[in-house]
Each structure stands twice: as structure tokens, then as C-alpha cells.
Amino acid sequence: MQTLFDYQEDECPWYYFDSSYKTLLGACLILFGVFGVLLNGWLFATFIHSHLLIFKSHILVLNLCSASLGRNLLGFPFSGSSAIAKRWLFGPLCCQLFAFLNQFFGVFQMAALFSIVLERYLQAKFYRREKSLYFRWYWTLVGVCWLSSVIFATPPLFGYGMYSCDTTGTSCTFMWPSIQSGSRQIGFSVPYVILCGVVPVIAIFYFMGKAIRLEKIYYRSEQQREQKRLTKSVHALTVATLALWIPSAVLAGWQWLPLLAYGYRPHVPAALALIAPISAEAATSIPVLCYLASDERLRAALLGRMRRHYALLHPDKAKQFNREYLLKKQNTDYYSY
């Protein structure tokens, strides 16, 4: 087996994977991609129609849903079809655009996870001080997610880093790192790894621990118990999503560290090259599944958004949500006259 690249780095690498591996990769990407589009589209439509999503925190839930849905819609139609065809089908310019958007939504997902975990901590902290967070604070967090994504996705388009084909030769992504880019590549890659990987992960687990401690002490009422359930679902989806991103992190280290230490880039094991993109695609479905499992209000909104049908909930909860709907409808009818 060869251990060095035998191609120019401005061209797509051709790895010696068996064709069946690429067919399996394409099938899995399409399967998880379609599943993710259906789940996140369901949640997105629920936000438009449901009367139950009334907490300000739900703005950040929708923000994370937008990141996951964008990743789904971008990913499997291009990468899945190319994997089945066993080569990138859409040309070099589309490769650059695809890699840029892939990087954009990857940073967006991490920023959205950090934002919603931070908000859960601040919500508990402000509740202890009998204060509340303003709407403009939530929209500022959403804006920061978008801005940081643009900042960290743009430099490779201008030579600070490189977008090229991935380890399978069937998709396009950020190259870890490019020999041709030299010091400019390292100058972008190191801050990118630190600011978009290491720091957010450490901060996420720090604020998760602080939020759990504060909620145990101060949350007592029924509404605060709902906030506690939302926090539980947010923490569960964050841990599960980060776990599914581990193969991608291992894949990046597998390509990067030998080059920095020994001056060459080895071929990636076929299993790792397949698992990393599949698990990253599957991670986009995790938030909706966690909401369905852990948060009664979001579950009620998802299950009953069209017909106000709450038969799958506990009877007491179904009555409570139905009363909320009728009260809101009465107020709307009153003010319409």
C-alpha cells in the first residue's frame, strides 16, 4: 500500500478504496440526509404553525434547526450522488462553493450549540437574580452565529487554507492542511481549530455543569420545570452531536499531525473515511430526536401542530396545552374586534 500522496494538491486525490465502499457511503449519506431533512423540516414548519412555542429560548432552538437543515440540504444531494458515481460530479467551481458552504454550516452548528447551552446557563443565573433576558440578546446571539460562520469559511477562498476533495475523492471540504499554502495555511488552521473547536467544546461542558447546578437549586414552579426539561434536552443533544463529530475530528488529526511531525500525509483508513462523513450527516437529526424524547412542550408542538391533537401525551399535559391554545385563541378573537 502506498503511504504518500501521488497527486498534485490542487487536483482531486484518487484513493484506492474499493468501489463498494463509495457506494455504501453514498447510500448512507442519502439515507441520513433525507431523514434529517424530514425531521428538521418538520421542526421548522412547527415553529411557523404551533402556538406552543412561546419561550424566547425557542429562538435558539430554531437557530440550531436552521443550521442542521442547511447542512442537510447542502450535503447529500451533491456528496451522496458523487459517492455513488465514485467521483465528484460537479466540477471545480462547484467544489469550492460546496466546500465553502460545508465549512459555513459546520461552524454555524458549533456556534448554535454553544449559544443555546450558554443561554440555558444565563437563564438560570438571571432567574436567581429575578431578572430576564431581552429579545435583542437572543437575536444578537443568532447574528453572532451567522457572522462567525462567514468569518471562518471565507479565508480558504483567498489562499488562507484550501478547499479541495476529501479523503474519498467524492466530495469537497477543507484540506488539513495544504502543503502549497505553507505558513498561511497554518496561520488560519491553528486559530480555526482553537476558536471553532477546542474553546467552544470546553465552554460548552463548563456552562452545562453550571446550569445544572443552578437549576437544581432554584427551579421549583411548573413553568421552571418546563425550562428544566428544555435544558435536559439541549444538554442531551449537545453531547450526542459532539460524540458524532468525533470521527471527523480524528480524521482531521490523522491527516494533519503526520504532515506536521514527519512531512508526509498518509492514506486514511477506509473505515474512518466512511464513518466520519456518515456520522456528521447523522448528527443533524439528533436535535429533533432529543426534543421528542425529553421536552414535552416541543413534543406536543411537533405531534399536534396541525390538528391540536395531543393524544400521545399524558392527559393532564394534553389538557394544559389545549387550555393554553383556547386562551390564546380567545385573546386573539377579542382583539380582532
Q: Which residue range(s) make up the domain with 279?
A: 19-306
Cα–Cα dist 79/314, whole Å: 42
Please state the rounded mean pLDDT for residues 46-56.
79
Percent of the chain surpassing pLDDT 70:
79
In a domain, 196, yes or no: yes
In a domain, 111, yes or no: yes
Residue 62 is predicted with a pLDDT of 92
Cα–Cα dist 169/56, whole Å: 43
Please state the rounded mean pLDDT for residues 13-37.
82
The answer, yes or no, to whether residue 13 has pLDDT greater than 60, is no
Lowest mean pLDDT, pick from 213-217, 261-265, 277-281: 261-265
Tens digits of residue pLDDT in 98-151? 999 999 999 999 999 999 999 999 988 887 665 677 888 999 999 999 999 999
Q: Which residue has the higher pLDDT, 186 or 65?
A: 65
Question: 317 vs 302, 305, 309, 314, 326, CA distance in Å?
Answer: 14, 15, 12, 5, 14
- Max mean pLDDT among 53-57, 118-122, 306-310 falls in 118-122
Q: Which amino acid is at 263?
A: G
What CATH number did the domain enclosing 146 receive?
1.20.1070.10
Cα–Cα dist 82/197, whole Å: 28
Residue 55 is predicted with a pLDDT of 81
The answer, yes or no, to whether residue 48 has pLDDT greater than 70, is yes
Residue 270 is predicted with a pLDDT of 82
As given in the structure block, the three cell numbers for residue 15 are 484513493
Residue 295 is predicted with a pLDDT of 84
Please state the rounded mean pLDDT for residues 305-320.
55
In a domain, 337, yes or no: no
The answer, yes or no, to whether residue 308 has pLDDT greater than 80, is no
Cα–Cα dist 300/314, whole Å: 10
Phi-psi region of 308 (alpha: psi -120 to 50; beta: other; left: phi over 0): left
In a domain, 180, yes or no: yes
DSSP assignment string, 202-219 = HHHHHHHHHHHHHHHHH-
The answer, yes or no, to whether residue 153 has pLDDT greater than 80, is yes
Question: 322 vs 13, 25, 72, 149, CA distance in Å?
Answer: 58, 45, 33, 39
Residues in the chain, total: 337
Q: How confident is the model at residue 315 (pLDDT cuts 50, 70, 90)?
A: low
The answer, yes or no, to whether residue 324 has pLDDT greater than 90, is no
Question: 175 vs 45, 131, 172, 260, CA distance in Å?
Answer: 36, 46, 9, 14
In a domain, 314, yes or no: no
The answer, yes or no, to whether residue 291 has pLDDT greater than 60, is yes
In a domain, 331, yes or no: no
Question: 219 vs 14, 59, 231, 266, 315, CA distance in Å?
Answer: 56, 21, 12, 53, 24
Question: How many Cα atoms sit within 13 Å of 241 on the Cβ side?
Answer: 27
Please state the rounded mean pLDDT for residues 160-186.
76
Please state the rounded mean pLDDT for residues 160-171.
83
Tens digits of residue pLDDT in 176-216? 765 555 677 778 888 899 999 999 999 999 999 999 998 88
DSSP letter, residue 174: E
In a domain, 42, yes or no: yes
Please state the rounded mean pLDDT for residues 254-259.
77
**What is the overall mean pLDDT for the chain?**
81
Structural domain count of the chain? 1
In a domain, 102, yes or no: yes
